[in-house]
Structure 1
Amino acid sequence: MPRQRMLPGEHGRITERSHGGKYYATTYFRDSDGKRRRVERSSDKSAEDARRMLQRHLKDRRPPITEQEVTDRSTLSELFELWIVAKADQDGVSEQTVDQYRQVWARHGANQLGALRIREVDTTRAHRHVQAMGATTQAKRLRMILLGMMATAVRFGVITVNPIRETKPAKAVPKKVVRKIPAEDLSRVRASVREYADREGPGPRPGRLLPAFVDLLVATGARPNEVLALRWSDCDLNADPPTVTIRGTLIDHGRIEGKPLHRQDRRKGDAPEHTVLLPRIGVEALEQLKTYASGDGPVFANREGGWMSLANMRRSLRAALPEDLRAVITPHTFRRAVATVVRDKLGSEKAQQQLSHAKLATTEKHYLQRHTAGPDVRAVLDEYTGVRE
């Protein structure tokens, strides 16, 4: 009677031998691709140790991988390079996003995990590393990078389960509560930045554009770098009503390695251009800036006529604000304030339209001050309960 053929995943009898002071354990294994292969492991200690090493290998064995870029001998650093190129080419992520991923990997992954081979990374090791980074944005980004890298390894058949799926970053601290800027505080802010811009003294005044910047943030609800990316061709003060159209955003120094401050001719997430009707405060700000504008350059031009960095604007704003407002007012605070004011008067959908969010949930979750008082529903509940005066 012929010998029964091994099924995929089964192995034959393990044989042991010694040679030159080393011990060897050998068997034949039928891999999941159906091929029968000779498998061997060795030990300097004993034949039994060689047998145990072989048995451990057989338990997690995968068929050998040939002629592909990712193998069971690939390190995480090698895997990262393959993954990031595919991320840019196939998923179409922006250049600055790719650079952010590279910076996160270089700082938190390359030296700590990069030399490990793919199969040497388990959930426990990865979870411990991500947790040690604390409740930071960097930890979340590293986990996302590792998740994508290991998904690539799964697709190449190097591993069967993504070990990063069950990892979690450290628990985040509670998010700051979104609060609108009360009208009286907004008046203080505007007065403070005007006083800072008009101050007397020798030398250049770094805050000369600050009042118009704050007013346009309030007038549009746009992101700070979208306001700073405005060109005069984006502004139509002769329209009825006057408008600005947001078509791009500024990318600050260092956001993309090797690139200086520059304008990106598309909005965040490749969102379509967004036209905003200007209230009087926005029209007056642009009319003031127009008095010393030249050509179709930046609305907020530096002294050389180039783009004005958000870092400089943020620094000037902080210097201009009273001590009690510095901790609560940043350039991005005005976007949330505008959203809340519009919601309170016109509803959440109008706030979403003003901010140009694709989803109402984004506006409600991140940009609106939460209602802390219920509506007047007394008549409805009296009718429901049948209680009358």
Structure 2
Amino acid sequence: MARERIRTEEYGKIRRITWKGKPAADAYYRDSAGNRKRILRTADTWPRAERALKDALKDLFVESESDLTPTSTVAELIDLWWLEWLASKPAVQTVVTYESRKRQIVKGLGGVQLRECTVPRVDRFLKSVKQSKAHRTILRAAFGLAVRHGAMKHNPMHNVASMPAKARSERRAPQAPDAAAVAEMLTLFRAWDRGKDGRGVTRNHPLEDFGKIEFATGARTNEVLALTWDDIDLDAKQPTVTIRATLIQDEHGKVLRQEFPKTENSERRLLLPQFAVEVLLRRRVESYNEKVFPNGRGGWIQDANFRRRWWHEALKGSKYEGIVPKDFRKAVATLVARQMDAKTASRQLGNTETVALKHYIQRAAEGPDATALLESAFRSAVPDVETD
């Protein structure tokens, strides 16, 4: 019967022998490269020689403190993966988002050992939380790390159920306000900007001006709020705005300008219509720092204040209550797509054409007037048809 092959990073039978007249113990082992080698230790007695040999073998195969084992917990795995992931220098906003998802994962699975992370267990966890792509991305990457460390044989994320798709009744085609609705909302914004707050102090907020620039560009909220005067060229024959940054919040809630936009398609230079030029010329004369839309203290406007307080309060009680800044992007996309084409609309928004069609461009309620074409085709095919 053939002798069983020693596995990599394991050793075979320990033998007691005499080596140069001394008690000794030896064994064969295979190193991490798969090479078969012999190791020997001597002592004044065979038990001591055998003990010395076992200590030497233990040193050969000892794992570093960072290595994972099947008995390591998910919390330990996530901590190790997190440090490795941070070393790749992800975007600050991504770190903020992933940190909250990481806490949910540790809360729900943290004490589970890796050998206990079966597909059913991980699947139940994902179904128990309002899962997002971030939950799945973190778990897939972390379990992948465990597989690479030899602590898991398979990545359970490969077999968990897909994210539940929205029911057809829950999917809404893009609904965009038309230019008349935008004009009415701008009037509401103007009244709110010039109104008084709960203390009786005039607000003097830039909501109307923001709305005009949003409608002039179709840019994202935080792209407009991140604009500086270096991004605006009002002296050109055709004034332009360059979208090349966005506002983000760091892990401490501080608002920062990120010197690149959301996606590769987002960086773009847009021609400005005259109504936007007039707004920017006035704001340029009144400006006191580099920001186009500073807050009352000269800093960046916080997204939460802008969307949840200013915008919401300005439209509260009107027929436009519930409209959000993203709907202005839809209005721009729909208008440009209908007057030009979807590809041009996507370039205006800084999206791909697929994304623009799926999320921003409202489908036409009426079909085209193809009556003449259809009549001609029918008469050509059936020239002698009689009609009553």
TM-score (norm 2): 0.76
Of 195, 200, 207, 2:191 maps to 195
Alignment match, 1:165: 158
1:98 aligns with 2:90: no
1:289 aligns with 2:289: no
Aligned-residue RMSD, C-alpha: 2.9
Task: Report SS of the residue matched to 1:250.
Answer: strand
Contact 1:143 1:169 in 2 (8 A): no
Alignment match, 1:19: none
1:354 aligns with 2:348: yes
Alignment match, 1:335: 329
1:386 aligns with 2:384: no
Separation of aligned partners in 2, 1:80 and 1:193: 46
Alignment match, 1:145: 138
Query: For 1:200-279, what aligned pairs fall within 5 Å after superposition?
Result: 203-206=200-203, 208-251=205-248, 255-269=249-263, 273-279=267-273
Specify whether residues 274 and 34 from structure 1 end up closer, same or farther in structure 2 by C-alpha distance, changes over 3 A only: closer
Contact 2:174 2:358 in 1 (8 A): no
Specify whether residues 5 and 206 from structure 1 end up closer, same or farther in structure 2 by C-alpha distance, changes over 3 A only: farther
Question: 1:100 Cα shift?
Answer: 1.2
Alignment match, 1:17: none
Separation of aligned partners in 2, 1:214 and 1:73: 56
Separation of aligned partners in 2, 1:119 and 1:382: 71
Paired residues, what number? Answer: 329
Contact 1:127 1:169 in 2 (8 A): no
Alignment match, 1:50: none
Contact 1:83 1:149 in 2 (8 A): yes
Alignment match, 1:319: 313
Question: 1:380 Cα shift?
Answer: 5.5
Task: Map Cα deviations across residues 22-66 of structure 1 (whole Å, 9 max, x no partner).
Answer: xxxxxxxx9x99899xxxxxxxxxxxxxxxxxxxxxxxxxxx983
Separation of aligned partners in 2, 1:313 and 1:272: 22
Alignment match, 1:345: 339
Task: Map Cα deviations across residues 346-370 of structure 1 (whole Å, 9 max, x no partner).
Answer: 001111111122x321222222112
Alignment match, 1:375: 368
Question: 1:156 Cα shift?
Answer: 2.4
Structure 2: where are the runs of 5+ without partners?
Answer: 8-29, 37-60
Question: 1:260 Cα shift?
Answer: 1.0
Question: 1:372 Cα shift?
Answer: 4.3
Separation of aligned partners in 1, 2:33 and 2:205: 71
1:75 aligns with 2:73: yes
Contact 1:71 1:158 in 2 (8 A): yes
Task: Report SS of the residue matched to 1:323.
Answer: coil
Structure 1: where are the runs of 5+ without partners?
Answer: 10-29, 37-63
Task: Report SS of the residue matched to 1:78.
Answer: helix
Contact 2:225 2:293 in 1 (8 A): yes
- 2:119 aligned partner, one-letter code: T
- 2:174 aligned partner, one-letter code: V
Specify whether residues 265 and 203 from structure 1 end up closer, same or farther in structure 2 by C-alpha distance, changes over 3 A only: farther
Q: Which has the larger radius of gyration?
A: 2
Specify whether residues 381 and 126 from structure 1 end up closer, same or farther in structure 2 by C-alpha distance, changes over 3 A only: farther
Specify whether residues 117 and 185 from structure 1 end up closer, same or farther in structure 2 by C-alpha distance, changes over 3 A only: same
Question: 1:270 Cα shift?
Answer: 5.5
Alignment match, 2:295: 302
Range moving further from structure 2, 179-188 or 221-230 = 179-188
Task: Map Cα deviations across residues 106-154 of structure 1 (whole Å, 9 max, x no partner).
Answer: 1x211210111212111111111111224xxx43321221111112222
- 1:96 aligned partner, one-letter code: Q
Contact 2:144 2:155 in 1 (8 A): yes
